[in-house]
Structure 1
Amino acid sequence: MNTAAARATPAVPAPAPEVPLSQDARIIGLVGLAHASSHFSHLLLPPLFPIFAKEFGLSFSQLGFLMTMFFIISGTGQALSGFVVDKVGARPVLFGSFVCFICACLSGYFAHSYAGLMLVAVFAGLGNAPFHPVDFSILNQRVSTRRLGYAFSAHGLSGNLGWALTPVFLLFFTASHGWRAGYLAAAALYAGILAVLVLNRSALRTEVVHHAADAAQGSGTAFLKLPVVWWCFSFFLLSTMTLAVVQNFASPIMQAMHGVSFEAATTMITAYMLCGALGMFIGGFVAARMPRQSDRVVAWAMGIGAVLIVLAATGWLGGFGSMAMLAATGFAVGIGGPSRDMMIKKATPKSATGRVYGTVYSGLDMGFALAPLIYGLFMDRGLYAATLMLAAVFLTLSVVAALGVGKRTAAS
């Protein structure tokens, strides 16, 4: 690492090499539960887009802009929240996020117009913003070093499970009691999880990070001078431009291209997320055994995922085959998830964990913010196959970014 990173002095020692498995498991489980809740918020709106389009007379561009607003707020807040987490600790920020999620769900319950749906996006974006600085600050401080690869695997897996649960959760209540009941149930779910986290708050405590060098220089932004940080940012920006297609538009794309039912298309999104979770599980073992090759593992995973999306875009395999290819994409990308987090850890100065993770992962939010605007234009023009092809292009470019991170980390 260069001198800009070396000047920062960590305020807390590295995690103890030997701690009880039960202690690590408890921390990993609580952080995973919180992370799943964060990903649940990503899909509070998209699974219901076809319903909102009919009920409120909205276009795909308008619906996509809801997610753009969500991720603009989340991305901006994520970059800033990293500084807050380093200053006050992760735990109070985490609890504040759940209050925002509850407000988002209640806003959905009372929504009667596009403005009401926008309020859902605003509150959910505010709640989602701090999660990566919060999660990784807790994991890096509280989990033993030798189990971090597995911790990152569980973290990514829980996120995919959160994504997988949301469409099924909302579809169940929509079919039985209407979509408003789904939002009310989601608010109750968030309140219950917040209660669990508060009861186990001792396991979520992190030490405040002091930066002696930053105080002398009057700045806490020295890490922004590191090129590898921006390569990491670019990787997240590009790779999530692909994931945004699956989350926001895969359901209407499959319905338009192959005439599949709304229920089948929505279930395909859940299948993508479950396959991603399985990939994360396997990827945890890969990351633990190949920590030095994390950038190459990520590059291979993303490259294979891009090929699978192209196969889905051609339509050669029919409706079921195309949906299977998209689900398999989740598995391929999932395998690279834990190695991705190891790759970012290697590029992170130890005393700037919250700030670097906040900045780097804001690329994820920016990718999600830009993607609906771009893909919405394609969708409104009926360019469904081209939408998937473009997603494959972005995923291919993320391979270049991952290799760029590896090259600069190895050289530091």
Structure 2
Amino acid sequence: MNRPASTTPQNQAPDTLRSDARTIGLIGLAHGSSHFFHLLLPPLFPWLIKDFGYSYAELSVLVSLFFIVSGTGQAMAGFAVDRFGARPILFAALASFAVAGLIASTATGYPMLLAASFFAGLGNAPFHPVDFTILNKRVSPKRIGHGFSVHGLSGNIGWALAPVFMAGITTATGSWRTACFCGAMWALVVLAIMVLNRDALDDRAESANAAAKPAATAVDAPKEHPMAFMKLPSVWLCFSFFFWSTCALSAIQTFASPAMQAMYKLPLSVTALIVTGYMLCGAAGMVVGGFLVGRVQRLEKVISICMLGSAALLFLVGTGILPGMVAVVVASIAGVGTGLAGPSRDMLIKRAAPPGATGRVYGTVYSGLDLGFCLAAPVFGFMLDHHMNNAVFYGSAIALVLSVVSAVIVGDGVSKKNRATLAAA
């Protein structure tokens, strides 16, 4: 008697702790590497200015180009993942990072730096559809939440390590080119690890199961146009939340270090620790925030308190009244608030999404990140060029406050919807 195709081992997603942990760990490593390459060049801006004479405004275009390529490529990457599978796209993305690092290490001028940013953005584009496709298809349902948690934490760790890695190697060797070359080697090492463990990343393992599911689901699908969700105000409020919160993050990641060097007269090797501290504190806050999600009904209150606390700390740093090392610590601690708000933010978006449109809503609102990074970089770069160092911290604080306004409006809408549902029941 033939065994049904849907029960064969090769057609089932692994359901053991060991296989789940292996897949989650690999995706975490890959996602952390993608965030690392967000900051391949920004930590090196002071050295690039010294060698090439560029302004911060000119170098901020490199950041904008990265996120333009990443943002526009993200939508197209979803179709590529569906057609070719997530695993080969992941391999190509990591290879693109290696190319970016090699181009940067041999750059002789602005065009090559732009090319490095282009390939880094190209590599970053597919990571969300790739990562979530593999996690959903390879990790058992009872551990998928842990997979998402590790995915978020690994991104923060990648952001935290990049400035220390790039600025540290540059300081130790006296060459930013060596740092870029080491970044390329890191991408190749991660690629080799993924290739050697490619069986744990096979997202096509459930294809037979998917084909065996009843076709009746199409009958039950909503009759609305697939893009109807874009008419909902809550979607664009969530988008604006991501946009403003990312503007603040862009200021911290790219410009806080040189701004603090100018304000507090600390060496770059010390001020580079701001980004690392901010990201690590954010990761710690994210762990704690995950427990708050299931215990708090009005999530916008959690978001508001945390974000406003971070804004107050960044504003305090901007005043310049703190001792130098205390300012570094305070700016780092501001990351705790944004980390705490992270899980509540994602759950609030899920509650605001209409039934059957959660994936499309997440895809739309998350594009606010790319737009925020793209537009904020030239603004804050202009501030530094005109010696408005305090404004980097004031601006990031204001952006966090504006993100709170969006979250509160969305939360009120969700609360009213819930009350209406209870009344109807």
**What's the TM-score, normalizing by structure 2?**
0.84
Matched, 1:394 2:399: yes
Equivalent residue, structure 2, for 1:197: 194
Give 2:179's aligned amino acid.
G
**Cα 1:311–1:213, aligned 2, differ >3 Å: closer, same or farther?**
farther
User: How far 1:224 moved relative to its partner?
Assistant: 3.0
1:317 to 322, 333, 342: 322
Matched, 1:339 2:324: no
1:248 to 254, 261, 265: 254
Unmatched runs of 5 consecutive residues or more in structure 2: 1-11, 212-216, 419-425
Unmatched runs of 5 consecutive residues or more in structure 1: 1-15
Secondary structure of the structure 2 residue equivalent to 1:290: coil
**Cα 1:263–1:319, aligned 2, differ >3 Å: closer, same or farther?**
same
2:17 to 12, 18, 21: 21
Q: Distance in 2 between matches of 1:107 and 1:204?
A: 29
Deviates more, 1:166-175 or 1:218-227: 218-227
Deviates more, 1:225-234 or 1:387-396: 225-234
User: How far 1:141 moved relative to its partner?
Assistant: 4.5
Secondary structure of the structure 2 residue equivalent to 1:386: helix
Matched, 1:275 2:294: no
Equivalent residue, structure 2, for 1:60: 56
**Cα 1:196–1:121, aligned 2, differ >3 Å: closer, same or farther?**
same
Q: Distance in 1 between matches of 2:167 and 2:219?
A: 52
Deviates more, 1:304-313 or 1:126-135: 126-135
Secondary structure of the structure 2 residue equivalent to 1:244: helix
Q: Distance in 1 between matches of 2:358 and 2:397?
A: 31
Equivalent residue, structure 1, for 2:36: 40
Greater relative contact order structure (CA < 8 Å, 6+ sep): 1
Secondary structure of the structure 1 residue equivalent to 2:266: coil
Equivalent residue, structure 2, for 1:236: 242
Secondary structure of the structure 2 residue equivalent to 1:334: helix
Number of equivalent positions = 395
Equivalent residue, structure 1, for 2:147: 151
Give 1:253's aligned amino acid.
A
Equivalent residue, structure 2, for 1:172: 168
Give 2:251's aligned amino acid.
V
Q: Distance in 1 between matches of 2:304 and 2:138?
A: 29
Q: Distance in 1 between matches of 2:265 and 2:97?
A: 34
The structure 1 segments of at least 4 consecutive aligned residues displaced by more than 6 Å after TM superposition are 208-211, 213-219
Identity %: 49
Give 2:384's aligned amino acid.
M
Matched, 1:403 2:399: no
**Cα 1:115–1:337, aligned 2, differ >3 Å: closer, same or farther?**
same
Deviates more, 1:240-249 or 1:183-192: 183-192
**Cα 1:375–1:194, aligned 2, differ >3 Å: closer, same or farther?**
same
Compare CA radii of gyration and give the structure with the larger one: 2
> Deviation digits for residues 8-42 of structure 1, max 9, x if unmatched?
xxxxxxxx9x9543343223222211110110011
Matched, 1:121 2:117: yes
User: How far 1:396 moved relative to its partner?
Assistant: 0.8
2:129 to 112, 133, 142: 133
8 Å Cα contact 2:261-2:271 kept in structure 1:
yes
Give 1:127's aligned amino acid.
G
Deviates more, 1:25-34 or 1:214-223: 214-223
RMSD (Å) for aligned C-alpha atoms:
3.0
8 Å Cα contact 2:239-2:365 kept in structure 1:
yes
**Cα 1:253–1:75, aligned 2, differ >3 Å: closer, same or farther?**
same
Equivalent residue, structure 2, for 1:6: none
Deviates more, 1:187-196 or 1:366-375: 187-196
8 Å Cα contact 1:309-1:329 kept in structure 2:
yes
8 Å Cα contact 2:222-2:356 kept in structure 1:
no
Secondary structure of the structure 2 residue equivalent to 1:260: coil
Give 1:179's aligned amino acid.
W
**What's the TM-score, normalizing by structure 1?**
0.86
